[in-house]
């Protein structure tokens, strides 16, 4: 069984509720609140748990919210290492208007990390990295952390230890770690445009931009997330668009993290890159079928993966 480490530098407790209609300056009656662990890598670990693929979630946690975050993960039987910090872990809030099914997402600022805490996080990753097969860093970078250096250090650690590093972040941190070189990138079109230095990328330009990153040694595999349109898989030998199944969308929260988890699950099972992306799309799409901040239901993901697999077989027969 593959050993997977997920890193979440800006975790949160995600609170969600419903309201019939948002009306300014009125006291609104909300539905019962739901509390869930949040943050990119944490969601990846939670989703992997649903797929019966073990992982270790590494994240900073502080204050009462940090304690609640750890308790919520224990309740889901997710293995984790929480690094204690002095500042209180943030909360996010999502409210769904039942009248329109519109979703309103309120993201609070990330919790500031001190230099000493940053070092402790890195040392924890270093300690856990022995025998690891994959390290994935997912989510935003919190205030105080060195965006130009932290993930670069993790990438160097992974490279030195023969670990495949997957980066699913943005901004300065993504630019810096790509220059160091990683195994897999999962950008959207805007992020791919920034990484490649090519403005106004469209679907027809994805192949060239992604292969340029690969040829420069910045990564081995690029999976460009296209939302409801699926994803574009590019490697040295592959360039393929995989469409997403059409489903009734209730929420997009956690869809990207679910996609990463699906891909990791497939890789851990020894699947090829095409199967990897199909499993990722299946999990990501399944996540949009649930309300609020809830991740995918395993049976939905399996059903959608079968649909994608059967569709590919049919296309191969017809071609």
Catalytic residues: 257
Instruction: Round to whole Å and give the CA distance between 225 and 140.
Output: 17
Instruction: Round to whole Å and give the CA distance between 239 and 260.
Output: 19
Instruction: Round to whole Å and give the CA distance between 281 and 229.
Output: 10
Instruction: Round to whole Å and give the CA distance between 54 and 42.
Output: 12
Phi and psi at residue 222, to the nearest 5°: -120, 125
DSSP β-bridge partners for residue 93? 15, 106
Helix (H, G, I), strand (E, B) or coil at 248: coil
- The single-letter DSSP state of residue 205 is G
Do 296 and 50 meet the contact criterion of CB atoms below 8 Å apart? yes
User: Measured in whole angstroms, how far is the alpha carbon of residue 237 from the centre of its chain?
Assistant: 25
């Amino acid at each position: 069984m593959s050993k997977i480490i997920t890193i979440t530098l800006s975790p949160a407790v995600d609170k969600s509720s419903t309201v019939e209609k948002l009306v300014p300056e009125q006291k609104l009656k909300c539905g019962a609140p739901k509390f869930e662990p949040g943050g990119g890598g944490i969601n990846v670990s939670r989703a992997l748990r649903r797929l019966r693929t073990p992982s270790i979630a590494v994240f900073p946690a502080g204050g009462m919210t940090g304690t609640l975050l750890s308790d919520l993960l224990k309740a889901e039987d997710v293995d984790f290492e929480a690094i204690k910090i002095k500042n209180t872990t943030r909360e996010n809030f999502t409210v769904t208007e039942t009248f329109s099914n519109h979703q309103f997402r309120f993201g609070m600022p990330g919790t500031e990390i001190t230099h000493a805490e940053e070092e402790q996080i890195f040392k924890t990753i270093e300690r856990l990295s022995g025998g690891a097969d994959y390290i994935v860093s997912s989510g935003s970078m919190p205030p105080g952390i060195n965006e130009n250096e932290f993930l670069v250090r993790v990438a160097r650690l992974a490279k030195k230890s023969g670990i495949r590093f997957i980066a699913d972040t943005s901004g300065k941190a993504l630019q810096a770690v790509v220059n160091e070189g990683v195994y897999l990138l999962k950008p959207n079109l805007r992020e791919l445009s920034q990484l490649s230095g090519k403005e106004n990328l469209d679907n027809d330009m994805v192949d060239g931009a992604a292969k340029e990153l690969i040829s420069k040694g910045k990564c081995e595999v690029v999976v460009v997330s296209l939302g409801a349109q699926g994803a574009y898989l590019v490697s040295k030998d592959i360039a393929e668009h995989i469409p997403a199944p059409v489903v009734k969308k209730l929420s997009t929260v956690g869809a990207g993290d679910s996609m990463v988890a699906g891909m990791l699950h497939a890789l851990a099972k020894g699947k090829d890159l095409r199967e990897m992306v199909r499993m990722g799309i299946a999990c990501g799409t399944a996540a949009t079928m649930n309300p609020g901040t809830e991740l995918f239901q395993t049976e939905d993901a399996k059903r959608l993966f079968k649909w994608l697999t059967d569709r590919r077989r049919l296309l191969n027969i017809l071609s």
